[in-house]
A and B are shown apart, each in its own frame.
Chain A
């Protein structure tokens, strides 16, 4: 805030002390998702003594790891002003392609193929949205159905694990540990560092925010908006591919039905983390908090023996409540 003392004409400048008060209120509202997560954990820990057991916590982290990666890509797409319904299908396609290729050739090639096919579908999404100007909802809805159809076609609806299962090294990836922590947990940690840097510290990141925030203004500021929008879908596809490969290693097979509802869960997590569906607003770490809210909530309801049908109702309520809270916050601003 300014310390200039010639501000008689600048009515917008708030006095310092009141400004700080306001700042605290906004800051707390701003961290609502984190507060909600902490409260959720505390309540669950009190109600169930199993919650804080190492096995349960590891379980949550393992479940969160795949979803976290999908949500990173979804954050990019949502900041660009769109969203991607096809990412669940991409997870399945990548897992199956990866499993199939590594059975035919070798493990590294299988992993690369799985990720690449995710990126390719992402590129198609991006091209359809930015060049053909199809609404992202329709474009990725169509792609979701097409890709799922292709997965079922190439696998004939059956899991892929060959005659003697997938290669040993690949399965090691799904269950092995480094420094006592699962590989599957290391992967999202490393990806988070990279993609957080890319989003918040680079020129590319500024372009992405600018394009999502106001496409026309970004265009007039000399940004190649089509390329930027397409890139967001490509990242989402690539990350969906990584998630698919990881899931395959955990399930020890390429599952044609894998990743169902991942698109909805990840969108919900990103929105819970405070990103705006109209684009241009969002933080990667907050999306991760959103993922953890979704995962801890599911885990908590399980531990408390809530019927799975009721679980769905509860999750839906939480999503709507989060969106409503966000509206109240933006009105206060």
Chain B
């Protein structure tokens, strides 16, 4: 770092929501040109910290100082005026407006036509937007609508917009959660170029590799408290995990098997899933893995022919798949959960016929089933009547899993099962997958995180543009992340 100008200082900040101490005496500082990462499990206080800095929540106590001046803000507008901007996960862009218009939104330049009629100044609009975007290495068109950009490019537009607003402090909230490897690398370049412009960056992520790579400083939160602040050179993955969860994670390393039971699903000579097997479906974003899993579940456009336990079948809809003992966890939680229903109702949803006596729901049986699952999966809070809406991401994911642990399910199709959840919950989901296969089930899981696929799977199939292009087995020895990347990169 060239300079060490202190941009932001947070001192002794606390925040309580109803009964929860979300932040407890947190101090934090950020220098110009520095990347300061914040890590922690879901519910550790990361979001609260970010949201207070972004003016979305108000702090209960503590001080915020920006470039030496004590600052107070009560809404996002004031935070923005103070130079703080959050680049959120779900970005708010006007999808139908052009790239240039989006960058300049809020400060659209105008000119006076004939000296008095105000008109949009297109030339200046394009010039200013273009300049901001060029600094970020964007060389695409300025005149196409944002809806046609990739997710990564949209992030660029948001960042360019913030730069034009003279933002000095960027809060990047899980910026790579929806990016594939190459796009993520491009984002890292942008982070570096922002550093050079003496911007301070607060970076929140669940991905520990990038945290180690990017951080100048790393703050770990647990239960609303700062448990550690490390500087570059002293930031280690294993250590972060231990600090975040308060547990040692030898469990991360899963046992693998080479012997499996009978074949459960066969499709197209390319896919074959056996009892006891975790089969990884590797593919970059947009490679067709999601559609592939949906088709196997009977939720695609057309019914595909496959063999289930040796019998030819065509699954017309999810009802048929469920009857055959196949369960699915879709890639996005909002496609799996009914947020306005309780944990209990969400869990028993696919099993309503089995838990009914005639037309009437058998409440006793349901309560027993659900209580057992909540206990077994450690779903918190332990309240079956809680609306799923109020659960954290990791716990929501467990609810979706719990669904398929009722009854005799043989096959689980999982689409990005650990997307956007913290390390602790991730380990638990991985353990659940393992346990499911130990009881004789088979798991087919898609992931764009190569690391995860290679660590979790017994065998891997690689997919590109909806076609299976390679198969990797631990037996053959050619089983590594490098080999997989090569197959997919093509």
Contact = CB atoms under 8 A, between A and B. Distances in A.
Interface stretch (B3-11, B63-71, B128-136, B352-360): B352-360
A203 B359 contact: yes
A216 B21 CA distance: 35
Given A9-B246, A11-B43, A209 B360 contact: no
The secondary structure that dominates the B interface is: loop
A12 interface: yes
A11 B18 contact: no
B223 A8 contact: yes
Contact of B319 (A4, A14, A209, A224): A224
Contact of A214 (B45, B334, B391): B334
Contacts of A158: none
Given A2-B381, A218-B349, A221-B350, A11 B360 contact: no
Interface in A199-257: 201-204, 206-207, 209-210, 213-214, 216-224
A308 interface: no
B18 A209 contact: no
B318 A204 contact: no
B223 to A, nearest CB: 6
B390 A221 contact: no
B200 interface: no
Given A9-B41, A207-B352, A280 B338 contact: yes
A1 interface: yes
Contact of A219 (B299, B337, B361): B299
B319 A217 contact: no
Interface in B338-366: 338-341, 345, 348-350, 352-353, 355-356, 359-361
A210 B18 contact: no
B403 A221 contact: yes
Interface residues of B, number: 52
A213 B352 contact: no
Nearest to B337: A217
A220 B223 contact: no
B417 interface: no
Nearest to A10: B380
Given A11-B223, A12-B380, A222-B319, A203 B340 contact: no
Contact of B383 (A2, A9, A214): A2
Given A8-B223, A206-B345, A18 B340 contact: no
Contacts of B361: 201-203, 206
B349 A210 contact: yes
Contacts of B328: 220
B19 A13 contact: yes
Contacts of B276: none
Contacts of A106: none
Interface string B325-340: 0001010001111111
Closest 5 CB pairs of A and B: A14-B19, A15-B19, A11-B43, A203-B352, A213-B338
13 contacts: A9-B424, A12-B390, A18-B19, A198-B359, A210-B338, A210-B345, A214-B337, A217-B334, A219-B317, A222-B318, A222-B321, A280-B338, A280-B340
Interface of A: 1-2, 4, 7-16, 18-19, 22, 198, 201-204, 206-207, 209-210, 213-214, 216-224, 276, 280-281
